[in-house]
Amino acid sequence: MRGTILYGPGDVRVEDRPDPVIKEPTDAVIRTVATCVCGSDLWPYRGIDQLAKPRPYGHEYVGIVEEVGERVTTLTPGQFVVGGFYASDGTCAHCRAGFQFSCVNSSPFDGCQSELIRIPQADGTLFATPTLPDEELIPSLLALSDVMSTGWHAAVSANVQSGATVVVVGDGAVGLCAVLAARELGAERIIAMSRHESRQRIATDFGATDIVETRGDEGVAAVMELTDGVGADAVCEAVGTGESMTQAVRVVRPGGMVGVVGVPHGVELPLRQMFFGNVGVKGGPASVAQYLPTLLDKVLSRQIEPGKVFDLELPLEQVAEAYAAMDERRAIKVLLRP
Amino acid sequence: MRGTILYGPGDVRVEDRPDPVIKEPTDAVIRTVATCVCGSDLWPYRGIDQLAKPRPYGHEYVGIVEEVGERVTTLTPGQFVVGGFYASDGTCAHCRAGFQFSCVNSSPFDGCQSELIRIPQADGTLFATPTLPDEELIPSLLALSDVMSTGWHAAVSANVQSGATVVVVGDGAVGLCAVLAARELGAERIIAMSRHESRQRIATDFGATDIVETRGDEGVAAVMELTDGVGADAVCEAVGTGESMTQAVRVVRPGGMVGVVGVPHGVELPLRQMFFGNVGVKGGPASVAQYLPTLLDKVLSRQIEPGKVFDLELPLEQVAEAYAAMDERRAIKVLLRP
């Protein structure tokens, strides 16, 4: 099959690779219908995260079940499936508590930017749609594999309640999905911090009621003005830098929560400021399997269309251009078709 | 009147000071029935926090209303009152949201380790008992001024739910009160981390089901063994050092919350570890006015007896000995009588 290998900073290629096979009786192999590039793929692509050696890349996918191991009970070949960006068994204490990323049988994927993917713990990881979905739903279903589930996780971690005022820091695909999640969870006011017109349009389409273009002291002042000096009930942080985390902590009201889904890179929290404001921080890798039943319903019933975050579609063979377009911010998120 | 001045490390004295008077129409002046020394008073006493100049000290009290300003509507002279360790008006957006420490009209106290105390924002800060309480209830009522409310805040911030497994890090008065709070909030299993036999006894009396005497790697292993390798649903952190915070983060289960009430001193959170475990941290100065109605009921109905944390009682004149006894860990918490 053809599959993506990330060699190092700025060097990503599609190559011939061995077809994946069932290794464990709980595995499935799926034929990729669509995959994509994640903002987090850019950390090693930019050389900020170090790669020990070249490795297969990508962790988002939708596909058709090709083959299942003998202990897989919920899936059959030919079904269309969505799954999270890591494997989880769905039965251990952490899965049952809704934190599947910490599954005791978790295991990483081979690269998903490829024609075929081996999915471990298939029963806990993959969710089949009732029928083969319409072509136009593919981008939104693919978004559930990571970005929409992660945006949802940000809003859940930030304890977004009905009627709440929410700030979203970060206007990448995840930040935009957090706006959509906040709307679906009943937020009354959603302030998106974004400096890019094309992203502002999607944010507004997803439910943002206000846009703040400034950052730092000015950004804080703008949010405070919009909230009568109180601050936001909940803040979704979808970047992961020290700057964005500090921005998030400064715009939340006393006693509020910051939901964090940007992988922290060189972040030091302003801990005393948080303490004296009773500001909480919670988050991490999304509980995809926890949210998939709800989010699948919302996509299949056309209540939400998170696939709008894909503003460029390329053949898998052009993966290098896909990474470059996102790196250079020419695209928000690139969908790849094998 | 006689009142306490903290001069610097190891130097605390009772002196003649001017009687406090009503300065604002929202003030009250109370005659102290009992006051005490707080673990946080030891930071400057030990020279860890720097004092710019000598200042009146103490922030915990129960007393009798002596005089009220003309805009005070809920209190009359002669009433017995308990109040929190800071003033809050009870009406601003932050007070209404239950985070009174961030009250827009908050103001600090003059030292409460004295015969008379001026309390600003008396209507929002002080709560009167229906009648003059029995003498034997005084220590427990005094505990509501800070330590019991703070222990409650730790448990609330850690999101302790009915049936939960809770770890309490710190066996000072606040940690012990967090054990009691966890019990009252319905925790099924309460693991107190304590190396001191006298404190272990109170912890057990307050509802601890297990005691862990070890710390660091050994302490983590002990908690993990007690929780079948899962970790605690909620952890109350009542110390505020880097060591204790790390301990707290390491014993909570994935997706769990650490409720923090120890003022952070030189703490750097293990942020990536927290992130990949979806561990949340929340807390700060307690919402005393929020909890006082509930906690007053529990004390007056003799459902809880947080006053047991006072294991030494001295006349106010011996305040120096009170600080020394707590500094040298000869006492858990010292009650002072003017």
What's the pLDDT band for B297 if we cut at 50, 70, 90?
Answer: very high
Distance CA A58, CA A36 (A): 7
Residue of B nearest to A285 (CA): B276
Of A71, A61, A174, A180, residue with least CA distance to A126: A61
- Residues in CB range of B218: below 8 A, 6 or more apart: none
A314 CA: distance to closest CA in chain B (Å) = 32
pLDDT at residue A108 is higher than 80? no
pLDDT-derived band at B161 (thresholds 50, 70, 90) equals very high
User: pLDDT tens digit string along B124-140?
Assistant: 999 999 999 999 999 99
Using an 8 Å Cβ cutoff, are A206 and A183 in contact?
Answer: yes
Mean pLDDT confidence for A233-258: 95
Q: Which domains does chain A have, with CATH numbers?
A: 2-146+287-337 (3.90.180.10), 150-283 (3.40.50.720)
Q: Could you give the CA distance from residue A117 to residue A21 in angstroms, rounded to a whole number?
A: 9
Least confident of A103-107, A263-267, B7-11, B178-182: A263-267
Which member of A228, A254, A275 has the closest CB to residue B260? Answer: A275
pLDDT averaged over every residue in chain B: 96
Mutation test of the interface with chain B: which of A282, A288, A291, choosing the one with the most B Cβ atoms within 10 A? A282
Residue B49: band (very low, low, confident or very high) from pLDDT cuts 50, 70, 90: confident
Phi–psi pair at B156, nearest 5 degrees:
-65, -45
Q: Which residue of B has its CA nearest to A265?
A: B272
pLDDT band at A290 (very low <50, low <70, confident <90, very high): very high
Using an 8 Å CB-CB cutoff, list chain B residues near A150.
none
> Quick one: average pLDDT of A14-41?
96
Q: How far apart are CA A244 and CA B285, in angstroms?
A: 25
Give the pLDDT score at B107: 82
- Two tokens at A116? 């075929």
Task: For residues A188-198, give the mean pLDDT.
Answer: 96
Residue A265 scores a pLDDT above 90: no
Residue A39 · residue A23 · CB < 8 Å: no
ipTM value = 0.95
pLDDT in the model for residue B270: 87
Question: What's the mean pLDDT when you consider all of chain A?
Answer: 96
Containing H/E element for B128? strand B126-128
Q: Which helix (H) or strand (E) holds B275?
A: helix B271-276
pLDDT greater than 80 at residue B21: yes
SS3 content of chain A, % helix, strand, coil (to 5): 35, 25, 40
Task: Convert the pLDDT of each residue in A60-96 to its tens digit.
Answer: 999 999 999 999 999 999 999 999 999 999 999 999 9
Burial class (CB in 10 A: 0-12, 13-18, 19+), A217: exposed
Whether residue B2 has pLDDT greater than 80: yes
Write the DSSP assignment of B313-336 as a string of letters: EEEGGGHHHHHHHHHTTS-S-EEE
Report CB contact under 8 Å: A278, B282: yes
Cα separations in angstroms, A61 against A37, A284, B128, B270: 10, 20, 62, 32
